[in-house]
């Protein structure tokens, strides 16, 4: 046992300081995120050019149907990131926590596989049910194996996960390109590549953690650990539900209230915005353990600097939105068509403004989530976002029935903007002196 503990300790020992580790994480993740851009900006257009309107809409819809159970995995994973960060200097506690967290992830994965398959099958259009249900199974398996990323992030070794993420994205892009080149990009192959490439690379990443640290898999974990995990994960569950409502709840409503052509345009813009804001996880993910470290050391100067930076970024983001409004008013965008996806002149203007507003507010909320989590004030953040997103989808749903799915995008953008401004104000005005006491 001592030998295993020593291996874990030597694998995690960090000779550098907080800023170095934060910069290292960002640098290693940058290339992975760049290829993540291409997965959407290259592969979605190829799918739009190769599939029928119904198939393309079903492919985009599959992301909503298969990722439902991320509502469970994401908050649990986020909880363990913070706990790993706090335990990273105690090798005995870290090893115990790693094995218990792995047991919890595996138990959740085994328990949720069948419900995920049935849920996706039931919600999907009849002609695509079986294929989307299989993809749901692959997604749950990938989410289970994401324990490796959670562990590495908590102990500030997430640059290793970036290498596996890069390999996954590059594989998807290469296969999509080859299949399109030889006119073999069918609906079944699109789903297979998109869902099973990440699963294969997640398995390799998972095995690398086990072999490099000596951590062993076991299903048994104590009742107190489950109770502690559920208690810490509660606000994260609310936030996960909130995010799901904004991205996929809105997608469900738009899918059932609009035709394949209109939904294809809406879902494409929505996914592009999600991918555009995704690179901020370069900062947001490693910001969690960095901020935990700053609070633990009582580095209030660093905390105050972060508050000022957050306020300035929020202000600049919304000034940029006003600039987009002015530009589109002076020179409205023309028609846009990529395969089965088509946006007409006035519609393009609304999508441009609403899309940029959603991008700015989502980017701000991504960074704010990390600091609220590190401060252990996630309840405030998650409740605010939940109220904003539920209200946005309800208003957007009523408007979509009359106007079309562009109304849904505008509604969730406005709700996210209000939540972002309020939470930035709460973060900036919260007394730094109270953080050490928490």
Answer whether residue 226 is part of any domain.
Answer: no
**Mean pLDDT in residue range 137-143:** 95
Q: Are residues 30 and 179 in the same domain?
A: yes
Query: Which of 73, 64, 61 lies closest to 110 in space, CA to CA?
Result: 73
**Mean pLDDT in residue range 71-77:** 84
Residues 345-376 have pLDDT tens digits of: 677 788 888 888 998 898 889 888 888 887 87
Share of the chain above pLDDT 90, in %: 24
Q: What is the mean pLDDT of the chain?
A: 81
Q: Which domain holds residue 80?
A: 2-216
Answer whether residue 427 is part of any domain.
Answer: yes
Q: Are residues 80 and 177 in the same domain?
A: yes
Number of H helices, E strands in the chain: 18, 2
Lowest mean pLDDT among 30-34, 79-83, 137-141: 30-34
Q: Are residues 255 and 205 in the same domain?
A: no
The domain boundary, picked from 165, 183, 216, lies at 216
The pLDDT of residue 205? 92
The domain boundary, picked from 156, 181, 216, lies at 216
Answer whether residue 225 is part of any domain.
Answer: no
Q: Are residues 320 and 345 in the same domain?
A: yes
The pLDDT of residue 131? 94
The pLDDT of residue 342? 65
Q: Are residues 205 and 244 in the same domain?
A: no
CA dist 361 and 82 (Å) reads 24
The pLDDT of residue 2? 39
CA dist 314 and 420 (Å) reads 8
Cβ atoms of residues 409 and 270 within 8 Å? yes
Answer whether residue 224 is part of any domain.
Answer: no
Is 70 exceeded by the pLDDT of residue 304?
yes
**Mean pLDDT in residue range 192-211:** 93
CA dist 202 and 16 (Å) reads 28
The pLDDT of residue 23? 64
**Mean pLDDT in residue range 129-134:** 94
Answer whether residue 295 is part of any domain.
Answer: yes
CA dist 420 and 425 (Å) reads 9
The count of domains in the chain is 2
Answer whether residue 227 is part of any domain.
Answer: no
CA dist 415 and 385 (Å) reads 8
Answer whether residue 365 is part of any domain.
Answer: yes
In DSSP terms, 343 is beta-bridged to 336
Answer whether residue 249 is part of any domain.
Answer: yes
Q: Are residues 262 and 293 in the same domain?
A: yes
The domain boundary, picked from 216, 246, 272, lies at 216
Q: Are residues 160 and 41 in the same domain?
A: yes
Q: Are residues 110 and 82 in the same domain?
A: yes
Q: What is the DSSP letter of 332?
A: -
Token representation of residue 294: 């700053």
Residue located via tokens 């002076």: 330
Token representation of residue 72: 């469970």
């Amino acid at each position: 046992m001592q030998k295993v503990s020593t291996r874990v300790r030597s694998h995690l020992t960090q000779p550098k300081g907080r800023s170095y580790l934060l910069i290292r994480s960002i640098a290693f993740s940058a290339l992975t995120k760049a290829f993540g851009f291409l997965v959407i900006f290259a592969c979605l257009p190829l799918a739009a050019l190769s599939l029928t309107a119904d198939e393309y809409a079903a492919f985009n819809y599959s992301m909503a149907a298969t990722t439902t159970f991320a509502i469970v995995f994401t908050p649990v994973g986020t909880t363990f990131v913070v706990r790993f960060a706090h335990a990273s200097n105690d090798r005995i506690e870290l090893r115990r926590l790693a094995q218990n967290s792995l047991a919890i992830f595996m138990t959740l994965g085994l328990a949720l596989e069948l419900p995920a398959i049935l849920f996706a099958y039931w919600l999907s259009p009849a002609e695509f049910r079986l294929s989307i249900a299989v993809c749901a199974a692959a997604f749950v398996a990938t989410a289970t194996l994401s324990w490796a990323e959670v562990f590495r992030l908590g102990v500030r070794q997430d640059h290793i996960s970036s290498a596996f993420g890069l390999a996954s994205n590059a594989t998807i892009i290469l296969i999509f390109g080859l299949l399109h080149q030889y006119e073999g990009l069918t609906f079944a192959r699109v789903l297979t590549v998109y869902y099973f490439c990440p699963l294969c690379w997640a398995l390799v990443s998972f095995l690398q953690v086990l072999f490099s640290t000596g951590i062993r898999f076991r299903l048994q974990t104590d009742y107190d650990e489950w109770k502690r995990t559920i208690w810490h994960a509660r606000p994260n569950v609310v936030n996960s539900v909130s995010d799901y409502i904004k991205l996929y709840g809105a997608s469900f409503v738009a899918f059932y209230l609009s035709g394949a052509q209109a939904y294809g345009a809406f879902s494409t813009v929505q996914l592009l915005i999600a991918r555009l804001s995704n690179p901020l996880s370069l900062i947001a993910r490693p910001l969690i353990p960095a901020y935990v470290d700053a609070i633990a050391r009582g580095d209030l100067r660093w905390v105050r600097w972060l508050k000022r930076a957050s306020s300035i970024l929020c202000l600049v983001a919304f000034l940029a939105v006003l600039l987009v409004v002015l530009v589109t008013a002076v020179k409205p965008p023309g028609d846009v068509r990529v395969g089965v996806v088509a946006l007409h002149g006035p519609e393009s203007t609304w999508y441009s403004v609403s899309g940029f507003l959603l991008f700015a507010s989502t980017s701000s909320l991504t960074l704010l989530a990390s600091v609220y989590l590190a401060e252990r004030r996630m309840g405030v953040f998650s409740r605010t976002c939940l109220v904003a997103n539920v209200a946005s989808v309800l208003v957007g749903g009523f408007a979509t029935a009359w106007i079309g799915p562009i109304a849904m995008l505008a509604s969730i953008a406005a709700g996210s903007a209000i939540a972002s401004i309020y939470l930035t104000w709460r973060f900036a005005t919260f007394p730094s002196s109270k953080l050490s006491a928490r």
